[in-house]
């Protein structure tokens, strides 16, 4: 395995790669490219490639006036590429970015049906504090906070 390449998506091709991973991991809430562009304007997005193939993406939502000091870090790795340390690298990069943005509290959100994602978050010290479903959805999300 070659070294992964982490990049902040700047063009529509890379944004579409981010979108693809998001929509594969979160099929209950698929995003359009326009929605991804909007997110890229307010959040730090990153895409990870391995041997020229997109394998994951991340989102860091920086602290805002609504939740000063709290950042959300979400790392997503496609199932075929898990258990190789890529999620760990992506998560560590996101955590560092959150700290650079002034976060004193770090949260994440995981689709409850993503058992790998929940286990990953719990192994990294996150504790669930809320569970909810979006209107019309039957699969819930879990909000977790780094203990």
Rg (CA), the chain: 14
Query: Would the pTM of this model clear 0.75, i.e. be above it?
Result: yes
- Architecture per CATH, domain 5-108, reads as 3-Layer(aba) Sandwich (3.40)
Residues 120/123/129/132 CA torsion (nearest 10 deg): 20
Structure tokens at 135: 């209107």
DSSP string, 71-129: EEEEEEE-GGG-SSSHHHHHHHHHHHHHHHTT-SEEEEEEETT-HHHHHHHHHTTEEEE
Any idea where the domains of the chain sit in the sequence? 5-108
Q: What does each of the 147 residues of the chain score in pLDDT, given as a tens digit?
A: 689 999 999 999 999 999 999 999 999 889 999 999 999 999 999 999 999 999 999 999 999 888 889 999 999 999 999 999 999 999 999 999 999 999 999 999 999 999 999 999 999 999 999 999 988 888 999 999 999
């Amino acid at each position: 395995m070659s070294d992964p390449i982490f990049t902040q998506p700047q063009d529509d091709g890379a944004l579409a790669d981010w979108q693809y991973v998001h929509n594969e991991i979160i099929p209950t809430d698929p995003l359009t490219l326009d929605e991804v562009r909007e997110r890229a304007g307010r959040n730090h997005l990153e895409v990870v490639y391995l041997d020229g193939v997109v394998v994951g993406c991340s989102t860091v939502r920086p602290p805002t006036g609504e939740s000063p000091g709290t950042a959300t870090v979400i790392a997503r790795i496609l199932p075929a590429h898990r258990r190789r340390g890529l999620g760990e690298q992506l998560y560590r990069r996101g955590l560092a970015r959150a700290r650079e943005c002034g976060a004193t509290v770090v949260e994440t959100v995981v689709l409850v049906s993503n058992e790998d994602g929940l286990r990953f978050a719990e192994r990294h010290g996150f504790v669930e504090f809320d569970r909810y479903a979006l209107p019309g959805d039957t699969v819930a999300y879990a909000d977790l906070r780094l203990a």
